[in-house]
């Protein structure tokens, strides 16, 4: 069964294993999505995550909004909105997905201007069939819009009761510190969650990704316990289980090197000793972390992948196991 942790310093208890719904409504059909969501709740899970732009990229005809639409239908069919702590995101909507689908070019995101976020939030509420969002993220940090404009708009959404808490994702530490300072200065609601890519492998020296947690960001989170780390892509698209998949995989670009090789060797050996998969062991390792305590966000595409992730809840790691993995 699931265990919970406090979200920041809000007093809100949420599942330490959060269910991402990114592919629901596209690669995962509606009936299968309903079953996976039901299964997650049956294990005691309570924290479901999506975004307004999920998911425009799987196939022609996908535009974004599909995941929220399926979740809205699930809420309506089950009458369970009050049982779920729900997060979604704005600012990363893509207006012309056909221009970018299957191409390496970075899409042009909608951004975090006040009017843009207002329209995005209203669209999310409509698709979800709800009157409020528990946690609303700025999905991709927008350096072209003054932070004051974005934060003032978010404060207005909180005051209007449309969102309860705010978060940020894909953001550098110096920007996060500036956000917190502005919130303190103006009395605006401050972020209570930081959603970043975080896994057992550590980024290599010189890796330059605003999305991956590095040592500086971990130190910042330790010094600011009012913000919870929500760790997305914790198994890096499943590369831990398959050495052939790791070879040349895009997820390894920021991690490959001697440190990764050593950690993978220890992980694989311990997983074999415990009779679990390396992917499951990574999830269990994250669920055992306390400094800081992350919320681990999994995004399974199939019921089998969900069951594999849920299996990590039953893996108990001793201090010796954790020392071995961290050594």
Query: Which of residues 104 and 303 earns the better pLDDT score?
Result: 303
Confidence of residue 1 (pLDDT cuts 50, 70, 90): confident
3-state SS string over 38-94? HHHHHCCCCEEECCCCCCCCCCCCCCCCHHHHHHHHHHHHHCCHHHCEEEEEECCCC
For residues 29-33, give the mean pLDDT.
98
pLDDT of residue 311: 97
Per residue in 301-326, pLDDT (tens digit) is 999 999 999 999 999 999 999 999 99
Stated pTM of the model: 0.97
pLDDT of residue 159: 98
On the question of pLDDT at 102 being above 90, the answer is no
pLDDT of residue 175: 98
For residues 177-187, give the mean pLDDT.
98
Per residue in 202-221, pLDDT (tens digit) is 999 888 899 999 999 999 99
239: Cβ–Cβ under 8 A, 6 or more apart, which residues? 245, 246, 249, 251, 252
CATH of 4-326, one of 3.40.50.360, 2.30.38.10, 3.20.20.100, 1.10.3720.10: 3.20.20.100
Per residue in 248-257, pLDDT (tens digit) is 899 999 999 9
**DSSP for 115-182, written as a single string:** HHHHHHHHHHHHHHT-S-EEEEEESS--TTS-HHHHHHHHHHHHHTTSEEEEEEES--HHHHHHHHHH
């Amino acid at each position: 069964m699931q265990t919970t942790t406090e979200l920041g310093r809000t007093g809100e208890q949420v599942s330490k294993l959060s269910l991402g719904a990114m592919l629901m409504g596209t690669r995962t059909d509606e009936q299968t999505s309903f079953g996976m969501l039901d299964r997650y709740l049956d294990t005691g899970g309570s924290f479901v995550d999506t975004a307004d732009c999920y998911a425009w990229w799987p196939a022609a005809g996908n535009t974004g909004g599909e995941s929220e639409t399926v979740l809205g239908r699930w809420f309506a069919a089950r009458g369970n909105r009050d049982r779920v702590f729900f997060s979604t995101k704005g600012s990363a909507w893509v207006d012309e997905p056909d221009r970018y689908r299957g191409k390496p070019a970075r899409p042009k995101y909608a951004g975090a201007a006040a009017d843009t976020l207002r329209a995005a939030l209203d669209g999310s509420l409509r698709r979800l069939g709800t009157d409020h969002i528990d946690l609303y993220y700025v999905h991709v940090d927008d350096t072209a819009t003054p932070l004051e404009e974005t934060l003032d708009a978010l404060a207005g959404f909180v005051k209007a009761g449309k969102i309860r808490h705010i978060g940020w994702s894909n953001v550098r530490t110096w920007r996060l510190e500036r956000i917190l300072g502005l919130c303190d200065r103006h009395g605006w609601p401050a972020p209570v969650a930081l959603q970043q890519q975080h896994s057992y492998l550590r980024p290599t020296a010189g890796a330059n990704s605003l999305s991956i947690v590095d040592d500086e960001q971990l130190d910042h989170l330790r010094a600011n316990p009012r913000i919870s780390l929500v760790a997305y892509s914790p198994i890096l698209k499943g590369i831990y289980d398959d050495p052939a998949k790791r070879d040349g995989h895009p997820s390894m670009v920021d991690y490959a090197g001697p440190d990764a090789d050593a950690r993978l060797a220890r992980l694989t050996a311990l997983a074999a000793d415990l009779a679990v998969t390396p992917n499951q062991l990574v999830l269990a390792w994250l669920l055992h972390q306390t400094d800081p305590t992350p919320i681990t966000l999994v995004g399974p595409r199939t019921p089998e992948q969900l069951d594999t992730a849920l299996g990590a809840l039953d893996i108990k790691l001793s201090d010796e196991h954790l020392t071995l993995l961290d050594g």
